[in-house]
A = this chain, B = another copy of it.
């Protein structure tokens, strides 16, 4: 298996690769990380930074998106419920149905900030914000 580096993703993709992304059910977490997130208008919202897995169910709970900042300064992190992300081959990234203004009001945390991933109240707020059922249901 070829290792995928972030730079791979910047190379032009041929039709085979596109078709592969479209039809393949399985994707490596590494490949998800570094993928751009856009809204339906095609505006860049951020980049997938990491994937949070629920050990108990084996489900992906969140895709954490980094947003804004420069060289790691001022960057904010959004824990996006996995279910709000749709992969769009034409846009070559994940698409969420959210404008930039709405995203600014979404729950975020900053680099170095301690997040209690097991705080159900916090998790509920996030899922409420994005209007999807929580991963633990």
Contact = CB atoms under 8 A, between A and B. Distances in A.
Interface of A: 1-2, 23-30, 32-33, 50-62, 64, 77, 82-83, 87, 109, 111-115, 117-118, 136
Contact of A55 (B27, B30, B33, B51): B27
Copies in the complex: 2
A62 B53 CA distance: 12
Chain A residues touching B, majority SS: mixed
A29 B53 CA distance: 7
A111 B109 CA distance: 38
A112 B1 contact: yes
Contacts of A109: 1
A40 to B, nearest CB: 19
A53 B33 contact: no
B83 A58 contact: yes
A-B residue pairs, 7 tightest by C-beta: A29-B29, A29-B51, A26-B117, A58-B60, A58-B82, A26-B52, A28-B50
Contacts of A29: 29-30, 33, 50-53
